[in-house]
Amino acid sequence: MNRPRVVVGVSGGVDSSVAALRLVQQGEAVAGLFMQNWADDGTGECRAEDDRRDAVAVCGRLGIPFHFRDFSTEYWQGVFEHFLAEYAAGRTPNPDVLCNREVKFKHFLDAAHDLGAEKIATGHYARVVEAGGRWRLLRGMDRGKDQSYFLHQLGQAQLSATLFPIGELQKSDLRRVAREAGLPTHDKKDSTGICFIGERDFREFLGRYLPARRGEMRDPQGQVVGEHPGVFYFTLGQREGLQIGGVRGRPQAPWYVVGKDVAHNVLYVDQDTHSPYLMSTRLWTETAHWVSGSPPAGRFDCTAQTRYRQPDEPCRVQVMEDGSVMVEFTTPQRAVTPGQSLVLYEGDECLGGAVIARTDAPLELKLAEQAA
């Protein structure tokens, strides 16, 4: 068998199916590889076996070799253990960012090289271009589907060996292309959420690994307004699942999570969706990663996202001596969450990013002072 030049990560979804199709149409020597990243116990909706069958069917339709690799051990060690540690610390991690860095563009890339390939390809909505010897990560043309946010931890070595064949497409056009090519995944529903949880109840799943303790829900002034099942289960700005009944002297309005005190097992809530306790103008991060290998300057202006699909927010970035960054936004930001990713952009180019460590939200500052 001839060696492939490109190995496509086929997930059993329509995006990776069309990525493989486009490479075949371009005359590339292509093979597909399905990654099993989670040892599915059959109790959720991850449906790894169904996805694998779909990936096999796509490769058969395209006439390309199919390969399988089990990365569940690597995923557990590189992604899931960190996921649990972050929740235990009261933060809200983003496993998709780590999965891309630790599995898809590390172990998958190694596996492709073992098969003799020069490059890998994935069904991400992003673009990579080379200019002046430097590889740049750009947003996907479909801004509603752009996934560069999840790819900001990639560097020059990974980008130089990566293709994003659907980065120029709109999702609506992609499904039409898949249908016209007779791909069996053309009308398959997009996966949502975290794969290893699937459609299962998040609290039940997390409770298997992090036994939670019930505790008080308080307003920002310290008055008890209810009881929570465990601070791990909630994130800043969350409204669902609080189950606070009528509180005497309070209006019949929704409550929102505005803070977590893990050490004292207290969840703080407020009734205003734009509560001042949720707002911040500055944040500090852990060590930043730069796609080009270094920041554009010690201090610069750009735009940022503190969560996926957020509109670009103008900001000023200061690179600190320890490699972290301090970011100041032009306008106050709602529910900036430690553990999530700050991702920086210059126009369509993703510069890099970092995990958010803390913000200047009033309640967060108050709790930090009490802890000190």
* Same domain? 91 vs 111: yes
Mean pLDDT of the 243-252 span: 79
Mean pLDDT of the 215-231 span: 93
**In contact, 156 and 170? CB cutoff 8 Å:** no
Count structural domains, the chain: 3
Closest CA to 216 of 277, 268, 271: 268
Mean pLDDT of the chain: 92
CATH of the domain at 260: 2.30.30.280
Domain coverage including residue 257: 212-270
pLDDT at 81: 94
* Same domain? 175 vs 238: no
Higher pLDDT, 241 or 119: 119
214: confidence class by pLDDT, cuts 50, 70, 90: very high
Look at residue 56 and tell me if it is in a domain: yes
Say what the alpha-carbon torsion angle 145, 151, 155, 156 is, to the nearest 10 degrees: -20
CATH of the domain at 328: 2.40.30.10
84-123 in b/e burial notation, b at 16+ Cβ within 10 A?
Answer: eebbeebbbbbbbbbbbbbbbbbbbbebbeeeebebbbbb
Closest CA to 49 of 58, 59, 39: 39
Q: pTM to 2 decimals?
A: 0.94
Q: What percent of the chain has pLDDT over 70?
A: 95
* Same domain? 27 vs 161: yes
pLDDT at 228: 94
Look at residue 306 and tell me if it is in a domain: yes
pLDDT at 193: 64
195 among known catalytic residues: yes
Active-site residue, selected from the candidate residues 46, 99, 302, 315: 99
- CB-facing half-sphere around the CA of 91: CA atoms within 13 A: 19
* Same domain? 175 vs 227: no
pLDDT at 241: 84
* Same domain? 69 vs 94: yes
151: confidence class by pLDDT, cuts 50, 70, 90: very high
Look at residue 341 and tell me if it is in a domain: yes
* Same domain? 292 vs 230: no
Look at residue 207 and tell me if it is in a domain: no
* Same domain? 21 vs 145: yes
What residue type is 323 in one-letter code? G
* Same domain? 38 vs 123: yes
Active-site residue, selected from the candidate residues 46, 195, 315, 350: 195
**In contact, 9 and 64? CB cutoff 8 Å:** no
* Same domain? 134 vs 225: no
Look at residue 203 and tell me if it is in a domain: no
Look at residue 125 and tell me if it is in a domain: yes
Give the residue from 251, 270, 289 where a domain finishes. Answer: 270
**In contact, 109 and 33? CB cutoff 8 Å:** no
CA distances 49 to 8, 250, 316, Å, are: 18, 50, 46
Q: What is the pLDDT of residues 77-136, one digit of tens each?
A: 999 999 999 999 999 999 999 999 999 999 999 999 999 999 999 999 999 999 999 999
Mean pLDDT of the 291-319 span: 97
302 among known catalytic residues: no
| Angstrom distance (rounded) from CA 68 to CA 77 | 20
Closest CA to 152 of 356, 357, 351: 351
| Angstrom distance (rounded) from CA 108 to CA 115 | 11
3-class DSSP state for residue 172?
Answer: helix
* Same domain? 248 vs 356: no
* Same domain? 260 vs 280: no
